[in-house]
Amino acid sequence: MSQAPKPEELLRVSHIPPKKDWMDPRVDLVPGTWGYPGKASSLETLGLPNPREWNPTDEDWKLPPNWKEIIHEGLKERLEKYRSLKIFLDICVRCGACADKCHFFIGSGDPKNMPVLRAELLRSIYRQDFTMAGKILGTFAGGRELTEDVIKEWFYYFHQCTECRRCSLYCPYGIDTAEVTIIVRELLNLIGVNIDWILGAAANCYRTGNHLGLEPHTFKGNIEYLVDDIEEYVGVRLNPTFNRKGAEVLFIAPSGDVFADPGIFTYMGYLMLFEHIGLDYTISTYASEGGNFGLFTSQETMKRLNSKMYAEAKRLGVKWILGGECGHMWRVLHQYMDTMNGPADFLEVPKSPITGTVFDNAKSTKMVHIVEFMADLIHHGKLKLNPSRNDYLRTTWHDSCNVSRGMGMFEEPRYVLKSVCNNFFEMPENTIREQTFCCGGGTGLNAGEFEYLRMMGGMPRAFAVKHVQEKHGVNRLVNVCALDRAILPPLMDYWAPEVSVSGLTELVANALVMEGEHDRLTDLRGEDIPGMEGDE
């Protein structure tokens, strides 16, 4: 029998063998940190290559025989198409400024999660095969050969990046590792290497219009449930319309808000807000998803999923589109929609029918973010609010990567939150706004099987929340992203128990004084509002 190890012997055994050179591509698939593979049926729905049953823990990943050529050609094509990619691969001076800025590195301690090394996983292949120095000098020039192990390593580490762009903020050259991840995931999709959580959602969306695969009657039914709840808790009966031609505005939210807690309370908020201001709007049961998992698959998939928004806007003859609280939906919209499917000349430049404000920033896409829309309403005094209904909450604000770092939306949500809630406390300066820390589960990493990865990736965010919880008694983490609303609650359960999570519009609606409402004794969750027991 062997002797029990001494602690100092254990000291030598690390979870990731430290002595291994980063150039060695072999990975250990640590349980809880990798995703189940995309199902053949999803790939078939989307018309993506190499549909098959396979398992990342198997030796043989059943790649197409000419996989190397496919990756090679795919990279070549993208280097020609995206100048930014070539620049990103060429100009990194390995200064290391980005190295410790990634939440996955900070939380996991795995060096391959340092953005500079993550990009290097692709760069080394590029260097070997696409640069003169690499062709001649090979490994001496930092090049690596493309092998199946490299593909496996890409699968693992490019699904440990949430494309949050925090690293790019610190890079003196603006190198965006998120874009490298986007490209590598696209390359992997060329040979059928992908994860089910992304592919399944994208396939559902392609088939029925939303990630969950809800068909129109179910989608409508879920919203009607929410209407019932509003009647019960608020005392007013709303009548949202579906697929109504000639409405002024088409409203599109992430489908998570239609079916999952706590997003549904945000959806109730949308409905109440629109009623309160008398907006002439309709909801499409076909463009029933604001999110776009195509962004995590390929340009083509993203484009196809995105196009349904304009197709519905055209079919229904609306003037412009209003979008709900979502993160990556806005990344797609802000950065890609116009070039992919725009300009939407058949729509009008969005103009708030209530305040007359023209949203010039949406001149081309014709789509306005609900937070901008609400901030404008509040600014013009168009909402009747009773913020004291939110007094039982002590809130803090999580800047979701895509809308904050990605689009510069910092002040609008804070303005709205402070207008509807009396208790607001910022997290430490170096964890918010541009420097915000990711929730740890965006870009399709919120699948159940990523449970440890998410806890590590979300750790820096969670510690900042815990700090304001201890210091100010914060009990509600507010955000404007549907994925956050799914990912942050379990993260809080683990790191900062007793902090609940909600969207912004939920709190707006808590405070909204609706015409004809009864005594508001509960919030939109149906929970008693402390201090409001019959005293309004």
Partner 1 sequence: MTNDIFELLKENRGMLVDRWTTLTLQTYPNESARFYSKEKDQFHNPVGHAMSKGLAEIFEAMLVGRDIQQIRPMLDSMVRIRAVQGFAPSNSLAFLLFIKKIIRDELGAEIQAKGLEQQLAAFEERVDGTLLVAFDVYSQCRQTLSDIKNSEFINRHVQLLKRANMVSEETRLS
Q: Please give the residue ranges that form the binding site for partner 1 (CB under 8 A).
A: 5-8, 10-11, 13-18, 30-33, 99-100, 105-111, 114, 222, 225, 229, 259-261, 264, 428, 430-431, 448, 451-452, 455-456, 459-460, 463-464, 467, 486, 489-490, 493-495
In the complex, least distance from residue 28 CB atom to ligand SF4, rounded to whole angstroms? 20
List the single partner that 430 binds among partner 1, ligand SF4, none, CB under 5 to 8 Å by kind: partner 1
Nearer to partner 1, 108 or 352 (CB): 108
In the complex, least distance from residue 264 CB atom to partner 1, rounded to whole angstroms? 6
φ, ψ of residue 294 in degrees (nearest 5): -60, -30
List the single partner that 241 binds among ligand SF4, partner 1, none, CB under 5 to 8 Å by kind: none
Q: How far apart are CA 87 and CA 78, in angstroms?
A: 12
Nearer to partner 1, 192 or 457 (CB): 457
Token reading at 71: 């990756």
In the complex, least distance from residue 92 CB atom to ligand SF4, rounded to whole angstroms? 3
The binder of ligand SF4 chosen from 70, 85, 116, 321 (CB under 6 A): 116
> What is the CA angle 168-169-173, rounded to 5?
60
| Residue 444, SS3 per DSSP | coil
φ, ψ of residue 322 in degrees (nearest 5): -110, 130
Is 482 a binding residue for ligand SF4 by CB under 6 A? The answer is no
In the complex, least distance from residue 159 CB atom to partner 1, rounded to whole angstroms? 15
Among 345, 322, 331, 318, which Cα is nearest to 292's? 331
List the single partner that 95 binds among partner 1, ligand SF4, none, CB under 5 to 8 Å by kind: ligand SF4
In the complex, least distance from residue 174 CB atom to ligand SF4, rounded to whole angstroms? 8
| Residue 277, SS3 per DSSP | helix
List the single partner that 354 binds among partner 1, ligand SF4, none, CB under 5 to 8 Å by kind: none
How far is CA 58 from each of CA 71, 152, 188, 233, 316, rounded to the nearest angstrom? Answer: 21, 11, 17, 52, 49
Nearer to partner 1, 342 or 489 (CB): 489
Q: How far apart are CA 457 and CA 23, in angstroms?
A: 23
List the single partner that 428 binds among ligand SF4, partner 1, none, CB under 5 to 8 Å by kind: partner 1
Nearer to partner 1, 119 or 368 (CB): 119
Report helix angle 115-130 to 67-81, nearest 10.
Answer: 100
| Residue 97, SS3 per DSSP | coil
Question: Taking a C-beta distance cutoff of 8 angstroms, is the pair 18, 175 a contact?
Answer: no
The binder of ligand SF4 chosen from 61, 104, 310, 437 (CB under 6 A): 104
List the single partner that 315 binds among partner 1, ligand SF4, none, CB under 5 to 8 Å by kind: none
Among 304, 301, 308, which Cα is nearest to 49's? 301
How far is CA 348 from each of CA 6, 253, 366, rounded to the nearest angstrom? Answer: 72, 20, 7
Q: How far apart are CA 276 and CA 413, in angstroms?
A: 19
Token reading at 315: 């079919």
In the complex, least distance from residue 428 CB atom to partner 1, rounded to whole angstroms? 5
| Residue 503, SS3 per DSSP | strand
Local structure of residue 37 (DSSP, 8 states): B
In the complex, least distance from residue 201 CB atom to ligand SF4, rounded to whole angstroms? 20
Question: Taking a C-beta distance cutoff of 8 angstroms, is the pair 486, 291 a contact?
Answer: no
List the single partner that 175 binds among ligand SF4, partner 1, none, CB under 5 to 8 Å by kind: ligand SF4
Binding mask 147-186 for ligand SF4 (x = CB under 6 A): --------------xxxxxxx--xx-x-x-xx--x-----
Binding positions for ligand SF4, rule: CB under 6 A: 92-98, 101-102, 104, 115-116, 118, 161-167, 170-171, 173, 175, 177-178, 181
